[in-house]
Structure 1
Amino acid sequence: MLIIGAKGFAKEVLEVFHQLNQLDNIAFYDDVNVDSEHFLYGLFPILKNENEVKDFFNKYGNDFTIGIGNPQLRYVLMKKFISIGGNMVSSISNKAIIGSYGVKIGNGCNVLDNAIFSNGSSVGKGCIIYYNVTLTHDCEVGDFVELSPGVTLLGSCKIGSFSQIGANATILPKIKIGQNVIIGAGAVVTKDIPDNCVAVGLPSKVIRNLEPINLGL
């Protein structure tokens, strides 16, 4: 398994594989911090370029997951590593609580401890579902969304792709949040939020607009 990134969030992804007892042939990829150490924690190789990645895929299989938090960067990295033969897979903590009926988790998601997925909830590909996130019944989350620690999504709400929901924010039932939206930490969202904006507060209000994403989608 190749984990893309070797800093911050990648270390939390590593813990998931440790809990699952799946540490054989784990490596990391970091072509940004070129002067960093060659092994993370003295145990796990850090690959530095695409040729090393291709060699790794040939020897140990082509599964990878993304250990970097920025939604748009995660999308770009997915495209890059698929183009060199990779297969994006999810990492799901065995301490997550996942409902028995109608739950859908897309490829390449990272699900951390104590996340709760109620029946009928769904998340798209490439999402981050952090510690203590709760998705209640029939919530729909798009692709490459980041749900920060303690987020609560109440029944049948919808979160658009490439959005980031801040720590301990609450989204009320049936609320729709657009694509490329940032919701501030601790916000309570009581009304629909349009695409490409930042909303904060209790109740949340839009405070500024964002440039639309341009990833060739």
Structure 2
Amino acid sequence: MFWWQDDVGQDVRVAFTDRGAGNLALHTGDDADAVRSRRAALERSMGVPRGSLVFLEQVHGTDVADADRADRPAVPTADAAVTATGVPLAVMVADCVPVLLVGEGPGGSVVGVAHAGRRGLLDGVLERTVEQLRGRGARRLTAWLGPSICGGCYEVPAAMREEAAARIPAVAATTSWGTPALDLRAGARERLSALEVGVVEPAAAGSSCTHENEQLSSHRRDPGSGRIVGLVWRTAPREEGAA
């Protein structure tokens, strides 16, 4: 079910699923009841209440949902979300970069997720998310970059590469067969570093490139593979003296 997961301190856990968890998106033509059943199984594995995991209606934009608002929609239309109260958050991907962020806040951890696809990355979704987290008092932010298509596989027209590189030079890449490409992970890394956010790129079994690793979802390789997700949530604090 999990491609990688870890306890990162402050009673916070971060994880990325693989295709063993099944398609977790409701917008890909899959049976809705089956998707909801998979989401419930995922919540059980996480140890969070059923129905508490917040998914987003992702539109390749830069809006950041406040998961703590009492009047927020059950499924916010946004490409990022933040919480200071421990609401479990999910971000769906199938080639784009899933970004999980954790910082120290005045009352405990402040966390967020972001969907860094080409358009959102170039338009500033990471900057908007970091701004919202710091507005909540987050300090010492760290970001985890999950599985995404690599620069050696993400072929684009030359004009698109030039346009993207004019905004974030680090995204310019070349495919393994010599054609223009984009490296979204390198772009996300550069943007986060410029924002003074620590960056962690977890290593797990197999390639972290969604296009190369068939255990991961890739829209380019197989549009029917659905979506994997990045997750950040609070775990129950351990009692003192517990083994």
Instruction: Tell me the TM-score normalised to structure 2 length.
Output: 0.27
TM-score (norm 1): 0.29
The structure richer in helix per residue is: 2
Q: Which has the higher contact order (CA 8 A, sep 6+)?
A: 2
